[in-house]
Amino acid sequence: MKKQVITLALILIFNIVSFGQQSLTGSVIYEETTRLDIKIDGEMATMIKDLPKEKKSEKILWFSPHASLYDKYIKEDESAANSGYWVSENNMKIVISEPVNTVFVDLKKKKMIEQKEFMTRMFLITGDLPEKEWKITGHQEMILDHQCIEATHTDTSGMVTCVWFTPSIDIPAGPGEYCNLPGLVMKVDIDNGKRIFEARKISFDNPGQDVFKKPGKGKKVSREEFDTIVAEKLKEMGVEKGNAKSGTVVIKIRK
């Protein structure tokens, strides 16, 4: 009798754990903030003196135990064409828009496919999920009623990235490549606030498997090939230093 009770208890525990893992499917809406460090001299500087100091947008992360997809979030009353921020002054329109950046991650195989726009060209970057050495700091923060733990990573250039993940949501997903941690990533701070991703809303409604569609448009390149293309183009433009992780914003000025 005792053996039967123990066996039944183990079955119940297994079922509870299995149910919990199966239910960890849903979405997170992040607010993405990019600092605009624009330096313009002469007459043009006066004409665009009211240009905002930062660009905000919303992105959505669809997650499941097997995969995640990070993409632009478009509200029901908003179209992709008019979702950019613009101001008008002196018969001039300033349109600030972000390049396309859709990231699919196979969480089981640790593979990533990134559809990324650079200088009006579309690329499809495929390969292994980047391995990062994260250092747990011990600092904690509450985000959307979830206790989050801080971890930091310093790259070869000295740029520091801080993430806050929550072990209470046992899914190694996050915004774009900022994942593969023991819990859902709720916040990312790149280079001391130059770019920030922060979760604003989370839902555990199952979106169905159709949403996890791998991006397929663009020239297929490896991460190394893409980095070389970016470096060569920046050098051609006379930009000696730059870091794509801090965010790339395209500014168009129209009469």
What's the pLDDT score for residue 95? 62
The Cα-based distances of 38 to 6, 35, 44, 176, 249 in angstroms read 67, 9, 12, 26, 11
What is the rounded average pLDDT of the residues 133-160?
Answer: 95
In contact, 104 and 133? CB cutoff 8 Å: no
In contact, 171 and 63? CB cutoff 8 Å: yes
Tell me which fold the domain 26-254 belongs to: outer membrane lipoprotein receptor (LolB), chain A (2.50.20)
Nearest CA-CA partner of 214 in 85, 137, 125: 125
pTM for the full predicted model: 0.78
In contact, 166 and 149? CB cutoff 8 Å: yes
In contact, 33 and 56? CB cutoff 8 Å: yes
CA distance 212 to 190: 26
At 158, list the tokens.
């000295």
CA distance 63 to 27: 6
Sketch the domain layout of the chain as residue ranges: 26-254
What is the rounded average pLDDT of the residues 97-120?
Answer: 90
pLDDT in tens, 162-172: 999 999 999 99
